[in-house]
């Protein structure tokens, strides 16, 4: 278990980064209650078209796992789970993204294999380097589905999963 948003879970220092960093007009934020984190707002594609929340840097070794397991309640929109390591492309830090879909109003347990994560820089897909799950330094969630309108994602837990124990 990485976090279940209970009072016993570590404070990961969540913060907001919306597209206004590049002149966009989307709005988003989060509330953390006992047992869940709620990421909500509204996207506007006249500009960047995204909203995100991320953790402050930390160290996490998930090399003994096959992927990330999320328990979420969504709104029917698609989201992106983001991982960051110390990997660089042309001297700049990159992120790894994997898309996931939600079902409106329903809780789902989603397994996202590490093989689904692709390297990207400022929204552009890169050819490499490959994700090293033993070197995770940050994670986050984005909405960047090229649609305007409100969004709301409830996040109940984040953990590593192994195919052998499923």
The domain spans of the chain are 15-165
Q: How many CA atoms lie within 13 A of 84 on its CB side?
A: 19
Q: Is the pLDDT of residue 122 over 90?
A: no
Section 76-89 average pLDDT: 97
pLDDT digits (tens, 9 = 90+) for 134-165: 999 999 999 999 999 999 999 999 999 999 86
What pTM does this model have?
0.94
pLDDT at 89: 94
Count, residues in the chain? 166
pLDDT digits (tens, 9 = 90+) for 28-72: 999 998 899 999 999 999 988 999 999 999 999 999 999 999 999
β strands within 34-122, DSSP E:
36-43, 51-54, 67-73, 78-89, 92-101, 107-113, 118-121
- CATH 3.90.950.10 is right for the domain spanning 15-165: no
Q: How many CB atoms lie within 10 A of CB 32?
A: 17
If residue 15 lies in a helix (H) or strand (E), which one and from where to where?
strand 15-18
Q: Mean pLDDT over all residues of the chain?
A: 95
Q: Is the pLDDT of residue 166 over 70?
A: no
């Amino acid at each position: 278990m990485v976090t279940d948003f209970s009072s016993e879970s570590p404070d990961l220092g969540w913060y907001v980064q919306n597209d206004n960093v590049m002149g966009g007009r989307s709005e988003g934020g989060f509330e953390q209650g006992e047992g869940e984190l709620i990421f909500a707002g509204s996207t506007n594609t006249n500009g960047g078209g995204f909203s995100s929340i991320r953790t402050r840097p930390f160290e996490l070794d998930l090399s003994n796992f096959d992927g990330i397991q999320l328990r979420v309640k969504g709104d029917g929109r698609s989201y992106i789970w983001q991982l960051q390591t110390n990997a660089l492309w042309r001297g700049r830090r990159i992120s790894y993204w994997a898309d996931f879909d939600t079902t409106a109003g329903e809780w789902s347990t989603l397994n996202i294999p590490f093989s689904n994560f692709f390297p990207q820089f400022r929204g552009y897909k890169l050819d490499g380097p490959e994700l090293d799950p033993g070197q995770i330094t940050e994670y986050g969630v984005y909405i960047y589905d090229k649609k305007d309108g409100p969004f709301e994602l409830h996040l109940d837990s984040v953990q590593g999963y192994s195919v052998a124990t499923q």
